[in-house]
Structure 1
């Protein structure tokens, strides 16, 4: 059974939950029974309004993502569709916006990269940016290198096959190196290190008491030390797969304090972009 993306929202609003479940992949069905899915979907619908499509993009090859938000603006559904027509996943969530969306950095930054990268996660809602619910990384970006929708050359279990792995990571703005996190190995693909979530990382202090961080760097690649002063574009290290990372990517964020756990993430003003880059867009750095 197949369900077209344009029919999904109508079926959900009319509570045809069995049809949606039966149109999903075996992998998704292995997570819950049809009865469990129908019960959860019914409860979710009872507390929400009618849904309509708000966002659509693609961040993986042959996979499309759709975001439906209800007319109360309080609930959100994310549905993933494979090119063969199967539903790869359905996620139910609250649709929240935060007053901190108005809190931009005072400084203007550049992305900490040298060439074109793809925004895997970034934006001001949970569909565009999975960091968004968490105040200390709400406006963070996850970046990867992608060629024709692919992030690797076909050997998905080999780190060096990923286009991101080993690429230069540079200073997004002039600053002082205040923290360097070292000695974390690169993970095997699909096995993140949740005990050391930042992995190998560099924290810079900038004017106006703003702090930027680049994380998940390649083991042994960091070339700066605490106390160094760096100029915008100076090399910090190479992109890797350390810390809470399933596959090579670069995490970049700016906060209002050095303590990255208790600080607040700041929405980043970029020097070269009038419109804030978001998920599924291509960006350039220094």
Structure 2
């Protein structure tokens, strides 16, 4: 899975400003933006753009950006003016349903938006997490193959990205090492597609995204990189992140308590992925934009046919739980 980038930077800006009180123009425009955003009036937001902004962020691109923002962060619950980091660019600490972000809104002399940026808002020291202390099972019963996993770039391209540096991409392969039958043009050709995915540990479901379409193999969806997603928070404040579920297959709800072995959903091909697979990693906070990845160790698993205890798989390992977990829906 490619890095999880929520937001898009548009045009900006001019010189450093000195005024640190919100102007009436900024306040009016920001209020209108929030009102239209929360009512899903994305067409209305586009009409607020300057001519230059519309050229930089065409209609389709604007709608994709706002839809993605809503899918990942939800609606705006609270917005607080902070300062003008640059002339006519107002910075707001903005609390969405699922994230707290820094919202920058630039307004021209005609009260039109000529710059817009959203990025993580970080003010506090985040908790450190090197590895899991919760005992984990593999999130499946069958034998899967580690396509990406390990601590080096050769083993795992994820190491370049802070939030998912210890992530795994897992597939199912046949005796010939192939991940699909036939010519692989359909999702159903892939052995991993539709396979049941399980909760590795007890915890609470803190995020569910389930409406992203599955891609045609080879066609990526960069608008919502993780695709259909589940995040579980354990009692040890570990956030277990699952990506690329099959559309409408997720069986758990946000706020639900799950037990180790519970069915979460089915493996799919949604998000920025070229073929059906499971992306799994652990992070220290829920928001992937500010999180740091942690190393995942699993208890009593078969690794290439031999039992290993407290083991973190690496590329090309074939892994399977030592014990079969009866699926609980």
Task: Tell me whether the two structures share a fold, i.e. TM-score over 0.5.
Answer: yes
| Match among 198, 201, 204 for residue 232 of structure 2 | 204
Q: CA deviation at 1:270?
A: 1.4
Q: 1:172 aligns with which of 200, 225, 237?
A: 200
Counterpart-to-counterpart distance in 2, 1:146 and 1:235? 22
Write the mapping of 1:59-138 to structure 2, written as runs, cut at 5 A.
103-138=130-165
Distance 2:281 2:137 in 1: 11
Q: Deviations over 1:141-192 (max 9, x none)?
A: 0000111101111221011010000000110101111100121000011111
Map 1:189-228 to 2 at 5 A: 189-228=217-256
- Out of 146, 156, 161, the position equivalent to 2:184 is 156
User: Unaligned 5+ residue runs, structure 1?
Assistant: 1-101
Query: Quick one: distance in 1 between partners of 2:257 and 2:312?
Result: 28
SS in 2 for 1:136: helix
State the Cα distance separating 1:201 from its structure 2 match. 0.8
Partner of 1:282: 318
Distance 2:162 2:292 in 1: 6
Task: Decide which structure has greater strand share.
Answer: 1
What is the CA–CA distance in structure 1 between the aligned matches of 2:319 and 2:255, rounded to whole Å? 30
Query: 2:141 and 2:287 mapped to 1: Cα distance?
Result: 27
User: Which string of whole-angstrom CA distances, capped at 9 and with x for unpartnered residues, describes residues 213-245 of structure 1?
Assistant: 111000110011011111111100000000011
Q: Which moved more, 1:211-220 or 1:274-283?
A: 274-283
Q: Any idea what SS the aligned residue of 2:236 has?
A: helix
2:280 is paired with a residue whose SS is strand
Provide Cα deviations, 1:83-109, integer angstroms capped at 9, x if missing partner.
xxxxxxxxxxxxxxxxxxx92222221
Q: TM-score, normalised by structure 2?
A: 0.55
Cα pair 2:144 2:320 within 8 Å, conserved: yes
Equivalence for 1:181: 209
TM-fit CA distance, 1:274: 3.8
Question: Mapping of 1:211-250 within 5 angstroms?
Answer: 211-250=239-278
**1:97 alignment counterpart:** none
Structure 1 residue runs of 4 or more that deviate by more than 2 Å after TM superposition: 273-276
Q: State the 1:269 CA deviation.
A: 2.1
Q: 1:173–1:206: 8 Å Cα contact kept in structure 2?
A: yes
User: What is the distance in 2 between the residues matched to 1:195 and 1:250?
Assistant: 19
User: Which ranges of structure 2 fall in alignment gaps of 5 or more residues?
Assistant: 1-128, 301-308
Larger Rg: 2
